[in-house]
Amino acid sequence: MTHLLSPGGGILYGHNGGALHRYLDADPTDGSGTDLDGYADDPVDTTGWTQVLLSAQPDSIR
């Protein structure tokens, strides 16, 4: 990953090789990545994601 960001709530977005992928951490407070679930079959964008700055709004739904 060249960029990784999170709006909170265990939601993560990762930028890698022109693609943007999303992940969900079942327990973001445990300090472990073993419960990280990637959505490889449903990326945000598979190619052409050229933004160099990524930002996220904090998760306030909970």
Tally of domains within the chain: 1
pLDDT for the residue 59: 63
pLDDT for the residue 26: 92
Residue 29 lies in a domain: yes
Q: What is the mean pLDDT of residues 12-37?
A: 87
Residue 60 lies in a domain: no
Report whether pLDDT(36) > 70.
Answer: yes
Residue 9 lies in a domain: yes
Partners of 45 in the β-ladder: 20
Residue 53 lies in a domain: no
Q: Are strands 19-25 and 3-8 parallel, antiparallel or unpaired?
A: unpaired
Residue 14 lies in a domain: yes
Copy the structure tokens of residue 38: 């990637």
CA neighbours closer than 13 Å in the CB half-sphere of residue 7: 13
User: pLDDT grade, residue 40 (50/70/90)?
Assistant: low
Its domain, for residue 18, covers 3-38
